[in-house]
Amino acid sequence: MANSSSGVAVNDECKLAFLELKARRSHRYVIFRLDDENQQVVVDKVGTQSETYEDFTKSLPDNDCRYAVFDYDFTTDENCHKSKIFFIAWSPDIAKVRTKMLYASSKDRFKRELDGIQAELQATDPSEMSWDTLKSRAL
């Protein structure tokens, strides 16, 4: 079903990849993009469980927008192992204005399709989504 504000639909593959990350922990991250016709959100890249946050950030394009989910594992001060699923809206300053507007207008609808997101980040450059930023948002 298309998004009422932007007309962008969500491909079923996106929901399936997210469920695999959330339920089975089979992925470290999933990156999503708009297809070439800007008609629907599709899976751009899936990161294996062995990939790092650095691998994830290097997978984001320097000049184009993306949505992503990242499974952040951490240990609390009480030595408890936990995990939080972050939704990241990547919108670099040098991306085309029209593209940034389309991603921004489609974000909330897309995010609602991914049931189980626990935290959100919006970033326009890598410093806004540093490892320390994730860590501070997770606690």
CA distance 113 to 124: 23
Q: Which has the closest alpha carbon to 14: 113, 119, 116?
A: 113
Q: Are 40 and 103 in contact (CB under 8 A)?
A: no
Average pLDDT of the chain, as a whole number:
91
Residue 47, pLDDT > 90, answer yes
CATH of the structural domain 9-138, one choice from 3.40.140.10, 1.10.10.10, 3.40.20.10, 3.40.50.1820: 3.40.20.10
Tokens of 35: 């297809």
pLDDT tens for 50-99 read: 999 999 999 999 999 999 999 998 888 889 988 999 999 999 999 999 99
The answer to whether residue 5 scores a pLDDT higher than 70 is: no
Strand intervals (E) in the chain? 9-10, 27-34, 40-48, 66-75, 81-90, 119-123
HSE-CB for 75 with a 13 A CA cutoff: 3
Which sign does the torsion angle of CA 133, 32, 46, 119 carry?
positive
Among 2-6, 19-23, 62-66, whose mean pLDDT is lowest? 2-6
Task: Give the per-residue pLDDT at 4.
Answer: 44
> What does the domain layout of the chain look like in residue ranges?
9-138
| Spatial distance between the Cα atoms of 22 and 92, rounded to a whole number of angstroms | 27
**Does the structure show a pLDDT above 50 at 112?**
yes
DSSP 3-state assignment of 110? helix
Task: Say what the pLDDT of residue 6 is.
Answer: 60
Please state, in angstroms and rounded to a whole number, the distance separating the CA atoms of residues 136 and 139. 6
Q: What is the pLDDT of residue 3?
A: 44
